[in-house]
Structure 1
Amino acid sequence: MSDPHEQLRVGNAERSAAVAELQQAAVDGKLTPDELTERSALAQAARTYADLDALLGDLRPPAPPVQLQPVQGYPVAGYRGSSDPTAPPGWSPHDPLLINAGFTGAKRTGEWQVPPFLQVQALADTVRLDCLQATTTSELIDLEVLPGAGAVVLVVPEGWAVQVDRLGKTWGSVSSKVPSRAAWGNPLIVVRGSVGLGSFKARGANWLDRRRLGQDR
């Protein structure tokens, strides 16, 4: 089965990063000048991560195996797409973890485990997903946003990535100050759906978050 991450679209930032990586590989003696020219042209024309991985895969060391841990006693081996009724919400695309803010805000903060499938809706107030102290066993997290008039705020640690290319809007707004490609060993959150009249914002920790975390310790 192919990795869904590989079919995600890349932008100019990812293409430029790939070219820079190819140039460094040439400096290190891994590519000849002709190979560098050829691969750089292909990188500039790349559409998906799979296209870039094909150009960079033989230049990188193999990735270490990902160690998945059980969640609330539920076995990891079958968590993707499982229909087991005993599984907690969020461990099947048919049963995502639903976080809804009607006229009262909703949030997830502190130490919590982010499942691979979430669905949020900010009807009139704010949904806040604070992942600064969160953990996850999934390299790819599907976050579906349902239309509303409130705000969805996603706060992620350094190294995590957020893609909002699949998130639509009508009169609302979408903003992300987070890289669209994760650092080694960190998860990618793919955001899709529509904000409707509301807003979506993804960001890293600000000074208030860092101060709070410092006090918590």
Structure 2
Amino acid sequence: MDLEARASDQDREATVSRLQQAFTDGRLAADEMEQRVERALTAVSHGDLAALVADLPERPGEVVTVTTKAGKILRTGQWRVPRTLRIESVYGNPHLDLSEAVIEHAEVTFDLNLKYGSAEILLPPGATADTNGVHCEWGSVVSDVPGAPRPGMPHVRVIGEVGYGKVRVRYRGARRRRWFTRGGGS
């Protein structure tokens, strides 16, 4: 995360929510929570927000890691989306369908570390995804959705390393593009 980047309203709201949860958990006194919330609402950069929660531990379930060598990674239906989902796979092909998922965070991160697999991410209508953080060695990244966050809509950041596969982000129900181009003879 670029700490110098300007914070959005969504970023500020996510930090306020985390501070309120820390108060509920007994990690912050009421006056300290109020002071931090006030600073969060007027924060200018990601660095300003990060400083407000730097001493707070990650909550259980905020970071989930799924590891498989060659197994199928499938998330569909009403599954709970963690703040960060790390997927580490050698030959797996993750399929993450968020169209009916329970998304409690304004922004979620999918950290993909795929050696030979390809990932497909299906979003609910209106959601957005930033795929600029994905590095592909021999594959490609295709996003058919807007990359900039929209107020009140889920935003997915896709980051990580993909060796010999592809990453595709689209809305559920949108027509699939072909992953390859057929060669023609004369």
TM-score norm. by structure 2 comes to: 0.63
Higher percent of residues as strand: 2
- The yes-or-no answer on 1:88 pairing with 2:60 is yes
- Calculate percent identity across the aligned residue pairs: 21
Q: How does 1:101-112 map to 2 (within 5 A)?
A: 101-112=68-79
* Kept after mapping to 2: 8 A contact 1:111/1:135: yes
RMSD: 3.5
Cross-structure match for 1:21:
none
CA distance in 2: counterparts of 1:138 and 1:198, whole angstroms: 28
- The yes-or-no answer on 1:188 pairing with 2:179 is no
* Kept after mapping to 2: 8 A contact 1:156/1:205: yes
Unaligned runs of 5+ in 2: 26-52, 176-186
CA distance in 1: counterparts of 2:116 and 2:95, whole angstroms: 14
Classify the secondary structure of the residue corresponding to 2:102.
coil
Q: Which residue of 55, 80, 87 corresponds with 1:113?
A: 80
* CA-CA distance at 1:112 after TM superposition: 1.4
* CA-CA distance at 1:4 after TM superposition: 6.7
Q: How does 1:19-168 map to 2 (within 5 A)?
A: 50=6, 77-78=21-22, 82-83=56-57, 87-89=59-61, 91=62, 96-168=63-135
Higher percent of residues as helix: 1
- Residue 175 to residue 207, structure 1, CA distance change in 2 (3 Å): closer
Unaligned runs of 5+ in 1: 8-49, 54-61, 209-217
* CA-CA distance at 1:102 after TM superposition: 2.3
CA distance in 2: counterparts of 1:203 and 1:5, whole angstroms: 28
Aligned residues: 142
CA distance in 2: counterparts of 1:198 and 1:129, whole angstroms: 16
What amino acid is the match of 1:160? Answer: A
TM-score norm. by structure 1 comes to: 0.55
* Kept after mapping to 2: 8 A contact 1:121/1:146: yes
Classify the secondary structure of the residue corresponding to 1:166.
strand
- Residue 158 to residue 182, structure 1, CA distance change in 2 (3 Å): farther
- Residue 83 to residue 206, structure 1, CA distance change in 2 (3 Å): same
What amino acid is the match of 1:77? Answer: Q
Classify the secondary structure of the residue corresponding to 1:119.
strand
- Residue 207 to residue 198, structure 1, CA distance change in 2 (3 Å): closer
CA distance in 2: counterparts of 1:179 and 1:207, whole angstroms: 14
| Structure with higher RCO (Cα < 8 A, 6+ apart) | 2
